Amino acid sequence: AEPAFVCIVLFCAMTTVTFQPQRLRLAASQLEVERQRTVPELPSALSGAWQGSESPPVLADPAVAETIKGLFPATYGVPTVSLGSGAAINPAKGLKVGVVLSGGQAPGGHNVVAGIYDAVKRSGPGAVTYGFCDGPHGLFSGNVTKIDDIMMNGYRNTGGFDMIGSGRHKIESPEQFVASREVCEKLELDGLVIIGGDDSNTNGALLAEEFKKVGCATKVIGCPKTIDGDLKCPPEIPVSFGFDTACRTYAELVGNVALDALTTQKYYHFCRLMGRSASNIALEVALLTNPNMCLLGEEVSENALSLKKVTEQVVNMILKRSKAGKNYGTVLLPEGLIEFIPEFNDLMKDLNELGDGMKEDEVLRKLSKENQERWHFLPEFIRAQLLLDRDPHGNVQVAKIETEKLLAGCVEKELERLRFAGEYQGSFTPQYHAFGYEGRAGLPSRFDATYCYCLGYTAAVLIAGGKTGLLASVKNLTKPVSEWQCGGVPVTALCVVERRKGKDKPVIKKAVVNLSGTMCQPFHAWAAIRDRVAIEDYYRAPGPLQFDASCPVSLDLPITLCLELGGEAPGLGPPKTQPKVFGSFLYCPRKLNSRSKLQQWRAELVAKKIQETEQAGVKVACVGLPTRPSLRYDEDVMKSVLPTTFGAPLVEVKMGSLPESTGAPPRIGVVFCGRQAPGGHDALIGVVDAIKERSGEVLGFVGGTGGLLKGFAEPISDIVDQYRATGGFDLLGRLQDRIETEEERAGVLASCSKLNLDGLVMVGGTRTASDTVHLAEYFAAKKSKTSVVFIPCGIEGSLINPFVEMSLGFDTASKVIAQLVANTSTDGASARKYYYFLRLMDGGTQGKESTSHVTMEVALSTRPNMALFGEYVAAKSIGLREIVSKVADVICARAEDGKNFGTVILPEGFLSSVPECRLLLEEIAKLPMPCTVAEAFEHLSEFSGALLSSFPSQIQQQLLLSRMDNGEVHASQVAAEQLLAYLVEIELKGRKANPESSPGRKNKSYKGSFSPVCQFLGYQVRCGMPSDFDCEYGRVLGSIAAVLAASGHNGYLASVSGLAGPSDTWRCAGVPLSAICSTTDTGVRVVPAPLKLQSPVWFAWSKLQARCAVEDLYQNPGPIQLSGPSATRKAETLIAANSQYGEAANYVKTLEELGKKLEMLRRACRPGCDASFAKVANRTLSGIEELVAMVSEGPLA
């Protein structure tokens, strides 16, 4: 066996065979380890003695049979093979088989290799499996690696193709066919397995033909792969592998986005999904999530719809929803939608003929009248893109057109026309999402993992039987795995003929969405419900992929596959009840039985766990010592501004039976203030459960702080249980997060007084915390009986302080983001040609208060090549040019090792941490709005103007978009990842052109390739189905808040310590909000907590970052698990931060133990104690006197 890291070269007649070092997996998450140890089940046809029988093939198109026969004279007519019965298959010796991963990545590819490897190993002594590196190119160039147990076991049940890499090369020239044969002969291969899509397997059939024609002993078998779902030939090939996992990954994100739309009721989310030639993914995701509209390219083509007609369809839906008071929604579309529009292709053809470099008026003069009309219909930004973006051949780059933005732009333009005509009075605010790369390399679903393993095993058995020119087939999928039927179908029987470049070419016919005839059941299922879902909100959140066998949906088949195999379509249920109208908000609670199967199972599971493990109720147990702010503060200012809550005592809350109440049953109000975060509904459940113990009532304010100001409240005690363990804030909704003025506080007081509330629970982040403490003081000054209490909730994690170890929702959101980052990193390591720049929704958007807690958690969970942190940049005053240079240095170092791929992550507000960019943002914030780019240059300083001019035009425009309600630039609107990638590309080009231009640079020259892909991860995660941690944490926080509010603790926050431990060891408390406030230039408020650069969390990343930069230490934490061992996994930052407390386990327990020690010392040093002992104790305490004085210092320096 060749050593893993030794390069061995074999020479044959014309082709060199080079054994490459194994690409061993260097790291793995807890879930990956669990999955690696899982062995998929085999059908009885494969697990027993190998047998096979033959039958005549069924042709895809009998009309072209003679043409196909002429193209494949040697392999045409080979029979279909069924395994499990018939003649025995007994290879004379151990098999030698080579594997090629071809084309784009699809989840499950590694399991195909695992199935091949295990079957080959079973074939006998001397068996060996080879992997050709980086696709077909590795085959004809002879780049190969030997797969052994260590290598294989590291990739079982994992996503991506990074084990041996993939590529999109084709074996086309006679020289490449000869070279491929020579490599196979030199390695003495019995078989070659091509794992790929329709083109790759057609290429494999040509290889099989060539090999058989010249007498090469190597047999060629294919395995059907493509996430697009366009390689299926029922009944033999019912589905391609990877389709299920990709669709479920996208469906999780679309479901989250739909809940986000329902929560704020102000956005239309346009979601572009993979699928250039077919809309199978879009249809599958639509059936899983019930969006308001799903456009199918096949339907557009069938009805010859123009772009204008497609736009009218969307506009009509929006008009109907607007009349129903709904100015929000979700629209799905395949990435290849515009390529299904004939007239758009005609326009592109004319533009290509005109060439580039022309101005718009010149273009218009030369276009036909029809194309002039089509041109004018396009949004202005699309027209500008078509004029500027050309490929090296001068053609318009249609593939770079962001279809979702094109469609939304056309819709917006038409709605404005209707508004001007008085036919539309609604609002239209689009958000754009492109879901693609993150779905190609995720951990395969249980179905894909099993299906792929069986495909690979089948391919190896077919080779053992001496078969060639077949595509591995596994069918009967609705039955138990043991009854699945395995075999092989001739590729030639699946081919049709297309005319390409003047020649007849065999191709496997693409499987598109069938609108009629056989296999049209999925489309008809969608057509049957789309009119209802267009107007009513039947959104389903399918939730994350599950792997634990105890979860009943973990082995579900794709919906479209089930329908094609005779299954029933999932129904919508009864019509929705009429919503209540509260201003611009609609209140329409949803029943649990209207949700996804996973959601229903999960809600019951969580409720059962609570019943089995918890004592009912919580109570105030004891009152501690007065508190002080954890940050430095001006004591006089604090006492003046917060006279009621400053220095109030810490209140411990313990689980147990509630004491008998002598007063009236409490009435508590709850409002969602901050931006949505997973676990919010569970916090409501905690409030309701605690108040029910006292026979009280809970009212929810509809529409967030806006509803609070207007008194829009509804009883939620009887409905909230239907929202257990669900994402989003859609039960009550939310919008603006602000209660700052005297008038606003008076409005809240009026609402609470009118509703006779004993307590008000406010849920949100740092801004809500600041508003809550001042509102509590206002209520106290007005002698209100309403106690105001705060629940720390926000995905950004910037509320971290001694009393808030983690904010509610951070755990779930960071884990969902980590899954997407890891999937994308694996995709990059598989294709080995992309650099992914990923901007993450994180804390803060302005100045020094931008935080990077989510980025740190994701970095520790996934180990990208580079993570940028705003706090570090701000602390070190690192300029933009230096940042760009550092990123380029990493890219250059990786290029020297032959790695032209990688992943860079950065927080949402990163630009505001860069000194010169912060200055630019401050100046832009002072500009009168609206403001054009040209007008901005007139008002900016010379320095800021020069900086802005160095940015690409789209970034310039983003900086001048609508502001936040505080007047600042909205960070989420500025694509910092695109700016960074743009500047890095310029830097790398400079290094190529002038390698010696920068003396002292670590990497003076650059010879690699750089293809950046940019994405923002935010809206698709903040309404995710909450983790077990967030479910329990939210419920406990809600219970604490309810008891504090009902017992008159005004101005308190709910606090839980010891979160890194089991929930039965958590310490619950009420903490005065003043204890987390500080005095600032803008008043007393809760300041977002920055990532500490001298902390266990920072040190944890510091130990990894150098290796991550140059090695591939990627690990995939995978989708959140709701049962099984991984369901209890805690956040990496929580574990690292908690390590500082040692055995004490948490902050509250540390203070408690410290108090005991001080009391013990006080008792030991009472008058009459030994003099020597008193002297030693005094000397010891003197050593920390200076530290105590410094920490106790109140006034700001």
Matching residue, tokens 């005095």: 1079
Q: For residue range 967-979, list pLDDT tens digits in order.
A: 777 767 899 999 9
- Burial category of 2 from C-beta neighbours within 10 Å (exposed 0-12, middle 13-18, buried 19 and up): middle
Q: What is the CA radius of gyration of the chain?
A: 32
Phi-psi region of 84 (alpha: psi -120 to 50; beta: other; left: phi over 0): left
pLDDT of residue 1190: 54
Summarize the chain as % helix, strand, coil (round to 5).
45, 15, 40
Q: Which helix (H) or strand (E) covers residue 1053, if one does? A: strand 1052-1057
Alpha helical stretches, state H, 1081-1146: 1096-1110, 1132-1138
d(CA 414, CA 419): 9
Residue 941: pLDDT band (50, 70, 90) is very high
Q: Pick the residue with more confidence: 504 or 144?
A: 144
Residue 870 amino acid letter: G
Q: Pick the residue with more confidence: 1062 or 393?
A: 1062
pLDDT of residue 201: 94
Residues 81/54, Cβ–Cβ less than 8 Å: yes
Residues 270/258, Cβ–Cβ less than 8 Å: no
pLDDT of residue 533: 96
Report DSSP letters for 275-332, one per residue: -SS--HHHHHHHHHH--SEE--HHHHHHTT--HHHHHHHHHHHHHHHHHTT---EEEE
Matching residue, tokens 């004279």: 73
Q: Which of 386-400, 437-451, 993-1007 has the highest mean pLDDT?
A: 437-451
Tokens of 388: 């500027």
d(CA 511, CA 523): 13
Half-sphere exposure (Cβ direction) of 678: Cα atoms closer than 13 Å: 33
The DSSP output letter for 1174 is: H
The DSSP output letter for 1011 is: -
pLDDT of residue 1195: 36
Residues 240/197, Cβ–Cβ less than 8 Å: yes
d(CA 543, CA 596): 8
pLDDT, the chain, mean: 90
Q: For residue range 152-170, list pLDDT tens digits in order.
A: 999 999 999 999 999 988 8
Q: φ, ψ for residue 1056 (rounded to 5)?
A: -130, 130
d(CA 113, CA 131): 9
My answer on whether omega of the bond before 1119 falls inside 30° of 0, hence cis, is no
Of 579, 850, 584, 538, the residue nearest 735 (C-alpha):
584
Whether 1004 has a pLDDT exceeding 60, the answer reads no
Tokens of 785: 């009986």
Contacts (Cβ under 8 Å, ≥6 apart) of 965: 736, 738
pLDDT of residue 631: 62
What is the mean predicted confidence (pLDDT) over 422-441? Answer: 95
Q: For residue range 821-865, list pLDDT tens digits in order.
A: 999 999 999 999 999 999 999 876 444 578 999 999 999 999 999
d(CA 497, CA 63): 10
Whether 1000 has a pLDDT exceeding 60, the answer reads no
pLDDT of residue 580: 95
448: annotated active-site residue: no
Phi-psi region of 803 (alpha: psi -120 to 50; beta: other; left: phi over 0): alpha
What is the mean predicted confidence (pLDDT) over 46-56? Answer: 95
Q: Report helix, strand or coil for 582.
A: strand
pLDDT of residue 906: 97
Tokens of 601: 């199972």
Q: Rounded to an integer, what is the distance from CA 710 to the centroid of its chain?
A: 36
Residue 997: pLDDT band (50, 70, 90) is low
Whether 6 has a pLDDT exceeding 50, the answer reads no
Whether 1084 has a pLDDT exceeding 50, the answer reads yes
Whole-model pTM: value is 0.94
Q: Tell me, letter by letter, the H, E, C secondary structure of 838-849.
A: EEECCCCCCHHH
What is the mean predicted confidence (pLDDT) over 659-669? Answer: 79
pLDDT of residue 658: 53
Of 91, 793, 188, 238, the residue nearest 565 (C-alpha):
238
pLDDT of residue 12: 44
Helical axes 307-323 vs 403-420, angle rounded to 10°: 60
d(CA 639, CA 1040): 26
Tokens of 424: 């539309």
CA torsion sign for 501, 503, 506, 511 is positive
pLDDT of residue 1165: 83
Residues 1080/1062, Cβ–Cβ less than 8 Å: no
Relative to beta strand 80-83, strand 51-55 is: antiparallel
Matching residue, tokens 């005297």: 742
Give the Cα-Cα-Cα angle 254, 1131, 448 (nearest 5 degrees). 45
pLDDT of residue 187: 97
d(CA 133, CA 171): 15
d(CA 728, CA 74): 60
d(CA 254, CA 544): 11
Catalytic residue among 162, 228, 758, 811, which? 228
pLDDT of residue 622: 43
> 8-17, 251-260, 874-883, 903-912: which range is least confident on average?
8-17
CA torsion sign for 442, 445, 448, 450 is positive
Residue 1142 amino acid letter: G
pLDDT of residue 969: 79
Of 897, 888, 851, 832, the residue nearest 1114 (C-alpha):
832
d(CA 1084, CA 1087): 9
Q: Rounded to an integer, what is the distance from CA 644 to the centroid of its chain?
A: 44
> 185-189, 668-672, 1047-1051, 1188-1192: which range is least confident on average?
1188-1192
Q: For residue range 766-825, list pLDDT tens digits in order.
A: 999 999 999 999 999 999 999 999 999 999 989 999 899 999 999 999 999 999 999 999
pLDDT of residue 11: 44
Residue 25: pLDDT band (50, 70, 90) is very high
Report DSSP letters for 1134-1152, one per residue: HHHHHGGGGGG-SHHHHHH
pLDDT of residue 849: 75
Of 867, 727, 889, the residue nearest 260 (C-alpha):
727
Q: For residue range 676-724, list pLDDT tens digits in order.
A: 999 999 999 999 999 988 889 999 999 999 999 999 999 999 999 999 9
Relative to beta strand 16-19, strand 143-147 is: parallel
pLDDT of residue 843: 74
Q: For residue range 234-286, list pLDDT tens digits in order.
A: 889 999 999 999 999 999 999 999 999 999 999 999 999 999 889 999 999 99
Of 746, 815, 834, the residue nearest 784 (C-alpha):
746
Residues 475/498, Cβ–Cβ less than 8 Å: no
Residues 138/478, Cβ–Cβ less than 8 Å: no
pLDDT of residue 659: 54
Q: For residue range 600-648, list pLDDT tens digits in order.
A: 999 999 888 877 665 444 454 444 566 767 666 788 899 999 998 898 9
Residue 736: pLDDT band (50, 70, 90) is confident
Whether 505 has a pLDDT exceeding 60, the answer reads yes
Residue 325 CA: distances (Å) to CA of 43, 61, 736, 1176: 54, 52, 19, 76
pLDDT of residue 996: 66
Residue 1143: pLDDT band (50, 70, 90) is low
